[in-house]
Structure 1
Amino acid sequence: MQTLQELGEAVAERRKALNLRQQVVAKQAGITPESLSRFERGRGAEFGARKLLAVLAVLDMELDIVPTQPGGMLDDLRRERSQA
């Protein structure tokens, strides 16, 4: 996954696979159903780490942080900026 929208889609997919409604997951995670809905649709810019971790715990999911190889979009932008 490389975007918050993809992360939201993965959460929605897992929630649906578990046959859980947004209202149930949101209540157990201590957030509003509207907040979860926005996040699942990629519109939750204010969706912080605490909320994300709470939702992942309800869905029995975890977030792994792994290093990536240089050459991603950010590196390309930095390279272009330094050449300009």
Structure 2
Amino acid sequence: MQEYIQKRVLEICAYILETGATVRQAARRFNVSKSTVHKDMTERLPSLNKELAASVRQILEQNKAERHLRGGEATRQKYRQPA
């Protein structure tokens, strides 16, 4: 793995651990695609640091479990705003 990729993986990992960010939020913050963030966290991070990977996986699973709530809230806000 190239050095710049390793650096990006660890930076995204630290950001997710600090903020509990979703894949979309991390992608927006680091100006990469959601697919890149997902691949970095699920495939590349475990080869660098298994403990960090386990911690990030836990946060991503929690975000996945809550995503239907965030989506419902976004829809609610959209229709609550006056047109």
Which TM-score band (shorter chain)? Answer: 0.3 to 0.5
TM-score by length of 1: 0.39
TM-score by length of 2: 0.39
Q: Which has the higher helix share?
A: 2
Larger radius of gyration: 1
